[in-house]
Each structure stands twice: as structure tokens, then as C-alpha cells.
Amino acid sequence: FVNAQQPAVHIIPEPVEIKMTEGVFMLNPSSSISVSHADKDLERVAGMLSEELNRATGYKLPVRAPGIMTNNVGNILLEINKNADAVLGNEGYRLKVSGTTVQISANKPAGIYYGIQTFLQLLPKEIASPSVMNNVTWQAPNVEILDYPRFGWRGLMFDVSRHFFTKEEVKEFLDDMAKYKFNLMHWHLTDDEGWRIEIKTLPKLTETGAWNVKRVGTFGDFIPPTADEKRDYGGFYTHEDIREIVQYASDRFINILPEVDVPGHSLATIASYPELSCTPGAEKYRVRSGEKIMNWHSKGFTALVDNTLCPANEKVYTFLDKVFTEVARLFPFEYIHMGGDECAKNFWEKNPQILALMKREKLKDMHEVQSYFVKRVSNIISSKGKKMIGWDEILEGGLPKNAAVMSWRGVKGGIEAAKLGHEVVMSPTTFAYLDYMQTDRIIEPPVYATLRLKTSYSFEPVPDGVDPKLIKGGQGNIWTEQIYNTRHLQYMTWPRAFAISESVWSQKEKKNWENFVPRVESHFARFESAGKKYAPSMYDPVIKARK
């Protein structure tokens, strides 16, 4: 084994420190996994590693009882530190691969889990295969790695409202996230096109709000459905589904941030409960299928259909109290996302109830009307023992003290929020919108903007002049207006999510585009072994024709 050729190291995201040493480690049919002591999370992680290795190698890799070590060459030791290593924090790890053993040590099981993801990336690409691969030498280079994350919030947002994805598809998405050390899935559960979460006290939300008429083509330009077309496209998650997904994510050290998008983006809600609108004729509204409902122009947008909940309607706050009561019980994560983005106000401007509210509450303009709504929602969320986060529009008109801001319209909103003392998550369109085209529009399904991998890789979550303590981290956002299935979802997510992963995990000084590209190419080969789709768009030229 000593003379075996040492494989290259292509880890994503880039660790803090890598020291190469001579030789290789070999997995073999007698290999086993040992844990340092009895801990249910540690033993579960060891079992997950055993299953992962068994799937591709066929080796059994028994998990030994705590304290029992074997002298077998090829043993893997997972060790929780007796005395905390101050450098590692809660998610860091040390990985040492020698000719005979692999040792992963950490302060917490989460660190062990991340160390395992790195170890798997040291093995041949066939380790990603969904079935046993024969005639593979299961070796990893001898190496010492020190690693810990730069940020505590490392997320991907998954929009399941525009197109519904099944429970198993969500789990597959979580599996892919975990491999690259993401620890948060922002779950966009409600929008104009569908309400995806069962609320037992409000059954029409899923009886009516979860279903529309299937359309394909360019979203926003679909032919409006006729009254007699069957509304059977969509779906929702029951409480049992959500508990199962939350547990599945937790087993992989991923938190889930639920989003209920209000007061705009609420057509599915109004189609279910028209009394939550202040606009006459709301009882005729239907869940959107992708037909045009907004006019977008240089100064912003106006609604053709009022897709907002009415801030002047007390029934809205009673409704939201019921919704957030059930959401808070289902999701253990400390935050709930209330949306707050792209709220058209042209219907509000003419509404007598809104105008009366402005007079009563001394609100100067429509921004302050939305701020009034946001503050009331914040109080409801706080009453459930949760903190509120919203898109950067919630800054307009004033923001509750304890609210956090997710900056999507570039980094400007995040800078403003941080200067006001609010915690911020960066997810700017300019770097992190993974639904954008990846290459020339001649090649890709049309979306209104392009985001190349190299641009995505230049994402820096902490802008100059901002207190880094207020930047919780960052995330990539995957809106699914134009994404209909898992294969297309994978194509749009990877490799740009590699870039996001490295921007939120790796140390700023470790980021290097020239070094990143060969690692991406190596992971393309892993995706091929796994039978997963990815976009090779980084090889495509952008063509501009001139006369």
C-alpha cells in the first residue's frame, strides 16, 4: 500500500488547513467504525457513515461498541473530544488519515458529521454511486485537515410553491445540501401558486389553495385557465410529512426555516378565504397557474389582481395567529420567515378601509401601512416563542427591533439593516439567485437574468464597513417558476451551490477561483457516478452579435 499513487485532494468547500503526508489509507472488507463513547447522535452518524460506505463498496463496516477498537487496518474512529477544542467550536472537526486508520475528532456530533463529508470526498468518485461498484481501489490520501465554518447560517432556499416537490424529493435535496455542509433549508411554503402546508384549523388552505391548473412554457405569460379546467396540479405536506422532513433534516444537522409569504404573494390564501382581502370581487379569485397578474416597469410594479392580505382587516390577524400557531409547533428552528416582498399597493391606495386605517394610526404612506402590518405579524410570531425574519422590503416604513432581515435586492438592504442594528442574512440576486440562467440565453430556458458560476463564486456576505457580528451568514435562493422537476432542479442548483457553500463555509482568504475550477470538475465526476444532473455551463461562451 505504501507505494500506491496518492490521489488528488478536491474538497468543496475548501477547508481551513490541509497538510498532505506520504501514503494512502485503504478501506477493505474487514474495515470497521469505532465511536469514542455512548452518544445517540454520534452512534447515529456512525451508522449513516456505515450505510454510505456499504452502498458503493459492498463492505459491511460494523459500528463497534464505545471503547472497543480493533487492530484491523482500515479502521475509522469517530471521537468526541473529552475537553473542548476551542478552535473548532460546535461545527468544526479535525480529520487525520494515515496508512492504517482514519480519525475524525470534534467537540460535537455535527463536527463529526462534517468531517465525514470531507472524508467521503477523499475517496474515489465511485463512492457516490447508488449501487455497489466492483474493481475500485477504495483509497484516500494520507492527510491532516483542520476545518470549521466561517458562518453559522449556511443556507439554500427551496421554493415548493410555484411547483410542488414530493416529500421524497425534498429529502433528496436535503441529502445533496448536507454533502456540502449547508445547515439550513429555507422552505418557501406559500405563494400565489400554491399553499403547501396543512393548517388543521384552516382546511380550505389545502383543499383549495394547494391546487391550480397545470401550465408549461414561460412563467408569467401562461394562458389564463378557463373556469371549467380541472384544478388538480399541486399538493401539500401534512403535519406528519413535515415532522418527518424536519427530523430527516435534523439527523443531517440541517435546520428548516419555514416561510409564509405575506402580505403580498397571497393569491392562494385569498382563493381559499376571500374575506381576507379588502378588494371587492375577491371571491372570484383563483390560485394562480402562472398567468400574468402584475405589470412590471422601470419604477417597480403594479398588481392587475390584488394578491395581498388586507392590513386593515382584523380577520387577517386572527387568521395569521392560527397559521403561526401551527407553524411554530411543527418547526423547532428559532426563526419564522414572514416574506414581506413585492407587495403591490395600488389596490390599497384606493381602498376606504386602508385609508381609514391610515387616518386612525397616523400612517403617512403605503410603506408605513406595510410596516404597521409587519409589526403586528412580528408580535404574533413573538407570541409563539419565535423570532421573525423577512425579505428586505420589511425595512420600508420602519422595522420592529427584534426582526432580522434577509437581503435579496443586492446587498443594500442588508447594509441598511445592519447599520440599524438588525441581524442580516445575505442572499442577493447579484450572486445567489440560482433560478437565473447560467449561460447564454440561446442555450438555456429563458429567465430574465443570467448568473455565471464565476460571479456566484465572488459572493462575499460581509460588505465593507458593516459589523461582521450582525451578518449571520448567507444563502442561495432557488425559485421554481421555471423548474418543474428534480432533474432540472439539480441542473440549476449545481455547481453554483458549490460556490455558495464555499462563500459561507470557507475562510475568506482561502477562496481562489483558479483553485476552485478543478475541484468543481472533480465533483462533476462524482455527480455522474451518483446519476445526478449538473450544469456544465462554466465551459460555455457568452455570445454577443454585432453588426
Q: Which three cell numbers stand for residue 8?
A: 488528488
Active site residue 265: yes
- Contact between 340 and 393 under an 8 Å Cβ cutoff? The reply is yes
Cα separation of 336 and 257, whole Å?
6
Cα separation of 351 and 362, whole Å?
16
DSSP sequence for 513-543? HHHHHHHHHHHHHHHHHHT-----GGGPPPP
Q: Smallest Cα–Cα separation from 110: which of 183, 61, 174? A: 183
Cα separation of 219 and 235, whole Å?
19
CA distances from 517 to 198, 513, 520 (A): 43, 6, 5
Q: Which three cell numbers stand for residue 196?
A: 403547501
Q: How many CB atoms lie within 10 A of CB 490?
A: 20
Q: Is residue 19 helix, strand or coil?
A: strand
Cα separation of 78 and 94, whole Å?
10
Q: How many CB atoms lie within 10 A of CB 222?
A: 17
265 sits in the region (left: phi over 0; alpha: psi -120 to 50; else beta) called left
CA distances from 497 to 304, 467, 482, 491, 522 (A): 35, 26, 18, 11, 15
Active site residue 232: no
Residue for cell digits 432557488? Answer: 478
- Contact between 199 and 206 under an 8 Å Cβ cutoff? The reply is yes
CA quadruple 363, 403, 472, 320: dihedral, nearest 10: -110
- In SS3 terms, 429-466 reads as HHHHECCCECCCCCCCCCCCCECCHHHHHCCCCCCCCC
Q: Which three cell numbers stand for residue 486?
A: 428534480
Helix (H) or strand (E) holding 159: strand 153-159
Catalytic residue, chosen from 163, 186, 265, 422, is: 265
Catalytic residue, chosen from 43, 193, 241, 342, is: 342
Q: Which three cell numbers stand for residue 264?
A: 403580498
Phi, psi of 157 (to 5 degrees): -95, 135
Cα separation of 129 and 527, whole Å?
9
Catalytic residue, chosen from 14, 52, 79, 191, is: 191
Active site residue 334: no
Phi, psi of 261 (to 5 degrees): -85, 110
Catalytic residues: 191, 265, 342
